[in-house]
Structure 1
Amino acid sequence: MPIKVTHVGSLPRTQETVDMIFAREQGQPYDADAFAAQMTAACVDTVRRQVEAGTQIVSDGETSKISYATYVKDRYTGFSGDSPRNAPADLKRFPSFLKRLAEGGGTPQYARPMCTGEVRSKGQDELLTDIANLKAAMAQHGAAEGFMNAASPGVISLFLQNDFYPTRDAYLAALSDAMRAEYQTIVEAGLYLQLDCPDLALSRHMLFADLSDAEFLKIAAAHVEALNAAIAGLDPSRIRVHICWGNYEGPHVCDIDMDTVFSTFLGANASQLLFETSNPRHAHEWQVFRDRAAEIPDDKVLVPGVIDSTSNFVEHPEVVAERLGRFVDIVGADRVIASSDCGFGTFAGFGAVDPDIAYAKLGALAEGTALANARL
């Protein structure tokens, strides 16, 4: 079976889309009908551009969401106020660079409320609208497979910190219970469910920098346990899990090694594993998968990022094919899907990569995958 092409989920939004999202985010008056129409049209255009670039497993680009994690504050009760900001440890080591990012608008501004009450769903109207928009766009542009992102319990606890439940574990359990219906709805809609889990890596140097690796792994294991409880009963072959170290250009000298979190990552009850392997800090870690191949269950599909999502370099297709070939040699082509390191529009209105270049990179991803397939 040939290698397919996908990406991690978020894509650049148009300025009109961003303006509407922030008007709602900031409590400004906005036309709900115009908002809905804009999100539908933007999703159609996003899917069109993915298909034209050669992407086979498409998403809605997270078009309607303010961000991949904090959107839950709009769909669930229990969030108010503001959470403390925790700059990643690597940026704190280079304060002049952190200052440059902040002063140059290089850090996104959006609400991160605390959990101050019981977390419960407000209903699935927004989710069902997103699903309907994606499926309609797929039908219009001939995309046979699609996925939808959802925040994991662990990443919610990272960005929307607990000030209500008695313990972190109690908060994770509540999030697991609350998110279960969202996950089920996505799978039942015939889409792949992508669970975003940067908490399994990024949070090591963002929220838990004072812990040892061993202590952090216990926390990460609890996050995976909460995730697995939320997806219990769902078909693992319809679930994707994405791990990353923070989708920003920076030194990343405090990132925990993939080798250290490898077993924890594999513990998620999902078949498709999405991870970074193109940015300069993690490009060598394909070797972890090679050296520990015996530990990878037969039902796991590797979805490596073979294009970077933080630079405006457009990878040569030969580079993409070379990177894919390494993973094909480890698990076989039928267990490899080509992807990006992370999203290109992680936060609405914020992204290091020019929108047109983002789609050029997806085009290079498809071209490189075609080269890899031709060499099988």
Structure 2
Amino acid sequence: MEFERDSSMSQILTTHVGSLPRSQEVVDFIFARERKQPFVQAEFDVAMTRAVAETVKKQVAAGVGIVSDGETSKISYATYVKDRYTGFDGDSPRNAPADLKLFPTYLARLANDGGTPKYARPMCVGEVTSKGQGELEKDISNLQAAMTAHGASRGFMNAASPGVISLFLQNDHYKTREAYLAALADAMKAEYETIVASGLDLQLDCPDLALSRHMLFNDLTDAEFLKVAAGNVEALNHALSGIPAEKVRVHICWGNYEGPHVCDIPMAKMFDTLMAVDAQYLLFETSNPRHGHEWAVFRDRAADIPDGKILVPGVVDTTTNFVEHPELVAQRLARFVDIVGADRVIAGSDCGFGTFAGFGSVDPDIAYAKLGALAEGAALASK
């Protein structure tokens, strides 16, 4: 596959994974909908438009070059599909990540302190079909209006991958997991195409390519899991068929939570899987202490990075309230610049700052301070 390199880059651009802290007004509306409590749809829509405008304004002020809507209207990056597609009902079984099970006192502390979000995860109990693109079109309109109002020239919209939907909304309808993935790919294709047709970049969130190893498939060997991940990529690439790769971003992660992460499958084993996605932009974690060393994987396998792939390493963490020093951000970026060149590196975050509505480890004001440090560090690295 041929990729188009963005030769207009005069400095290292900045972005993030997508989700950002939501206001209390937004959270209240989202959970009213989640709990099937009465609310006025027109007031909901006005609140989302207002919140997205403020979110984009803050991103621009922080120096972020490629902005998002912060996933403002969504309950979470994966389970929002239950509100936009048919076939979901009931509840899926919960399964804590394997690393937290190894430290039960810490897992209990997280649960007792409200450190784990509570929201519906229905099973797939019927045919998955789209209810239409109306809610997505509202999200797109809100983001584009906010970008115009605050001078942002480039934006992206998040969407769930077939694999991550199958991770959180488990199958109780299709005969096989592969059939479920295929149905999800067919259903999600129109969502992906709608985002790209609007002029925005499409970001696919794919923690299924790493997190699910120690959350759902911890009974498999690494080699067996790689086959599962390859199936997920095959389904995703099918859904992306016909969409230009230069309009697509993919994000891989091991779970956006502070924890031991001692069960994470190494990037060295997931490298080929990540490269196989039909996306030009690759977003991945390199800030947290469990994966900060894995920049070396890209160095050692530089010859295996397809020409034109653009690396978007996470150079600020999203699970602690430390604000990274811009010099540290610049140092992290420099490692990747040395591997593929400055025109193929964009500064990003490890994960989102508001993965679930109303839940986040990082204080909202500190989240934007981190994005400011990200922009300062990218400016330093560009010099």
Please give the range of the TM-score, normalised by the shorter of the 2 chains: over 0.9
Q: Which residue of 2 aligns with 1:270?
A: 279
**Is 1:7 paired with 2:16?**
yes
Structure 2 unaligned regions, length at least 5 = 1-8
Q: Which residue of 2 aligns with 1:372?
A: 381
C-alpha offsets along residues 55-89 of structure 1, whole Å, 9 cap, x if unaligned? 01000000000000000000000000000001000
How many Å separate the matches in 2 of 1:349 and 1:93? Answer: 27
SS in 2 for 1:13: coil
Q: Which residue of 2 aligns with 1:334?
A: 343
**Is 1:120 paired with 2:129?**
yes
- Count of aligned positions: 374
C-alpha offsets along residues 126-171 of structure 1, whole Å, 9 cap, x if unaligned? 0000000000000000000000000000000000000000000000
How many Å separate the matches in 1 of 2:380 and 2:57? Answer: 23
How many Å separate the matches in 2 of 1:364 and 1:348? Answer: 24
4+ runs deviating over 2 angstroms: none
How many Å separate the matches in 2 of 1:133 and 1:59? Answer: 10
The structure 1 residue matched to 2:197, chosen from 188, 191, 205, is 188
The structure 1 residue matched to 2:325, chosen from 316, 319, 335, is 316
How many Å separate the matches in 1 of 2:371 and 2:306? Answer: 29
Q: Identity, % of aligned pairs?
A: 75
The structure 1 residue matched to 2:260, chosen from 233, 251, 263, is 251
C-alpha offsets along residues 255-302 of structure 1, whole Å, 9 cap, x if unaligned? 000000100110000000000000000000000000000000012000
Q: Which residue of 2 aligns with 1:109?
A: 118
How many Å separate the matches in 2 of 1:236 and 1:230? Answer: 12
Amino acid at match of 1:263: D
Deviation at 1:189, TM superposition (A): 0.4
SS in 1 for 2:82: helix
How many Å separate the matches in 1 of 2:25 and 2:42? Answer: 14
- Written as runs of structure 1 = structure 2, the 5 A alignment for 1:294-309 is 294-309=303-318
Amino acid at match of 2:304: E
- Written as runs of structure 1 = structure 2, the 5 A alignment for 1:196-215 is 196-215=205-224
**Is 1:18 paired with 2:27?**
yes
Q: Which residue of 1 aligns with 2:171?
A: 162
TM-score, normalised via structure 1 length: 0.99
Deviation at 1:20, TM superposition (A): 0.6
SS in 1 for 2:79: coil
Q: Which residue of 1 aligns with 2:251?
A: 242
What do you get for the CA RMSD once the two structures are aligned?
0.3
SS in 1 for 2:20: coil
- Written as runs of structure 1 = structure 2, the 5 A alignment for 1:46-61 is 46-61=55-70
Q: Which residue of 2 aligns with 1:359?
A: 368
Q: Which residue of 1 aligns with 2:231?
A: 222
Deviation at 1:92, TM superposition (A): 0.2
Deviation at 1:365, TM superposition (A): 0.2
How many Å separate the matches in 2 of 1:5 and 1:200? Answer: 24
How many Å separate the matches in 2 of 1:237 and 1:331? Answer: 17
Q: Which residue of 2 aligns with 1:177?
A: 186
SS in 1 for 2:320: coil
The structure 2 residue matched to 1:93, chosen from 94, 102, 117, is 102
**Is 1:77 paired with 2:86?**
yes
SS in 1 for 2:336: helix
How many Å separate the matches in 2 of 1:122 and 1:190? Answer: 22
How many Å separate the matches in 1 of 2:257 and 2:219? Answer: 22
C-alpha offsets along residues 77-109 of structure 1, whole Å, 9 cap, x if unaligned? 000000000100000000000000001000000
TM-score, normalised via structure 2 length: 0.97
SS in 2 for 1:321: helix
